[in-house]
Amino acid sequence: MERYRRAFRKKVIPWYYRGKIHVAIFSIIQISAIFFIGSRLSWEISTLLVIFFALGYATTFTYFLHRFLLHRKLPGFGWAYKMHHWHHTFYQSHRMEYDGLDDVYMLLMPPWIQIFYFMVYLPGLALVAGLFLPPHLILPFAFGLTLWYGIYELVHWIEHLPLNHWAIKLPFMKSARKGHAIHHSRLKDVANFGIVEPSWDYIFKTKV
Ligand SMILES: [Zn+2]
Ligand SMILES: [Zn+2]
């Protein structure tokens, strides 16, 4: 496995790539977005309800995207399939953890996807949400989607930490990691597509 990983890194990771810069970009964008939107919210019960709704929407969207776009070669989305295939090839159920920070190249979404998410996808969705929600609830909706991006990346990251890491001992993380390891086995195309939480896997009977 070690020799395989070395060869994989050589083949896939560009020479100029630095994991710590990738993590820094992710953190700066994520923290800025949370503070930028969060500081404009007025915290009422309706705010919390809309944030919760946005998280529910996001976990649904993520399940379907993961199951039907990242695990199938759809026309025009071969690049997404390939990136996810790298993730599954590098991290396998018996070797889920990464060795060094440069291995996040096969773990975190690339910065351009995060920029697209915050500059195009999120504003576009907020516009659509504006057709159904009163104006003061658009920002809570955007805040929920902002939180989701960070939660998704962090939970997925923890699922790829060594088993003795303290973060695995956080509530729910042990079962989340166990479930995600099954998704990194030969069952990858049929089981455990919910990376953060398994509700849609239970509904569609893809939970193992
Ligand atoms: Zn994974
Ligand atoms: Zn997958």
Task: List the domain boundaries for the chain.
Answer: 2-203
Instruction: Give the tens place of pLDDT for each residue, 91-130.
Output: 999 999 989 899 999 999 999 999 999 999 999 999 998 8
Please state, in angstroms and rounded to a whole number, the distance separating the CA atoms of residues 54 and 146. 9
Phi and psi dihedrals of 3, rounded to 5? -65, -40
Closest ligand by atom to 188 CA: 2
Specify whether the CB–CB gap between 8 and 95 falls below 8 A.
no
| Residue the block writes with tokens 């396998």 | 92
Tell me the CA–centroid distance for residue 156 and ligand 1, in Å: 6
Tell me the CA–centroid distance for residue 84 and ligand 2, in Å: 6
Closest ligand by atom to 192 CA: 2
Phi and psi dihedrals of 95, rounded to 5? -150, 70
| Residue the block writes with tokens 């964008």 | 29
In angstroms, the Cα distances linking 45 to 51, 137, 138 are 10, 11, 14
Tell me the CA–centroid distance for residue 76 and ligand 2, in Å: 18
Specify whether the CB–CB gap between 160 and 108 falls below 8 A.
no
- Among residues 69, 30, 52, 203, which one has the least CA distance to residue 137? 52
Tell me the CA–centroid distance for residue 157 and ligand 2, in Å: 14
Instruction: Give the tens place of pLDDT for each residue, 163-199.
Output: 899 999 998 999 999 999 999 999 999 999 999 999 9
Tell how far CA 172 is from the center of its chain.
17
Assigned token pair, 76: 């025009």
Instruction: Give the tens place of pLDDT for each residue, 34-54.
Output: 999 999 998 899 999 999 999
Closest ligand by atom to 90 CA: 1
Tell me the CA–centroid distance for residue 169 and ligand 2, in Å: 23
Tell me the CA–centroid distance for residue 190 and ligand 2, in Å: 9
- Tell me the DSSP string of 89-126: HHSBTTB-S-SSGGGGGGTSPPHHHHHHIIIIIHHHHH
Tell me the CA–centroid distance for residue 45 and ligand 2, in Å: 35
Assigned token pair, 130: 């504006």
Tell me the CA–centroid distance for residue 158 and ligand 1, in Å: 10
The conformation of residue 13, written as its DSSP 8-state character, comes to: S
Tell me the CA–centroid distance for residue 129 and ligand 1, in Å: 30
- For residues 24-34, give the mean pLDDT: 97
Assigned token pair, 14: 């560009």
Which pTM value belongs to this model? 0.92
Instruction: Give the tens place of pLDDT for each residue, 50-79.
Output: 999 999 999 999 999 999 999 999 999 999
